[in-house]
Each structure stands twice: as C-alpha cells, then as structure tokens.
Amino acid sequence: MEETLKKINDMPSLSGFGRPQYGCIVGSTLDKREYKTLSEAQHAAESDPHCTGFTWLPKRKKYKMRSGTIVNTDCKPQDYSYLKINYHMDYDF
C-alpha cells in the first residue's frame, strides 16, 4: 500500500482536475471505451460533460471514464482516480 501511495503522490497534476486519489470512482459514464494514456483520458474527461473523472484500471492497464463523486478505497491496491476539480475533495491518507 505504501508503494501505491508513493506512486499516486508522484503522479502529475492535471489542469482542471484535483490531485490523484487512491481508489476507484463509483459510477460509470456512457463512454465504455478505455484509454491507454493519461493524456487521452484527460482529454476524454474534459470533453464529456457527464464525466466527473477517470480511474486507472491496473488489471487492464487503461483508464476508464466515471460519473460518480465518491472515490471507493475498497478496491484493487493500484487503483487511483482523478476527479474534475469541481468534484474533488482533498483527502489525506
């Protein structure tokens, strides 16, 4: 877990998004695609008004668009999510 949190803390800041958080955003969008890069995921999330952020899926090594505002920490150990800044809450672990 400590290694995962260090990796998340080292992730880049994205304009329009809060800092990455450990966990998976609860809720999917109608966009069922999975994105290979952080840049692709950021662009897709910015373009979708129903999207609140995106989550890294470690098993698939891809990002998935999400529509919820709750970040569930009861998930795979390497999951992390970016919420759009207007949905982001700053949690300390």
Ordered domains of the chain (ranges, CATH): 2-83 (3.50.4)
Q: Write the pLDDT tens digit of every residue in 41-89.
A: 999 999 999 999 999 999 999 999 999 998 998 887 788 999 999 887 6
Task: Point out the least confidently predicted range of 27-31, 32-36, 61-65, 87-91.
Answer: 87-91
Asked if 86 contacts 59 with a C-beta cutoff of 8 angstroms, the reply is no
Asked if 62 contacts 45 with a C-beta cutoff of 8 angstroms, the reply is no
pTM here?
Answer: 0.89
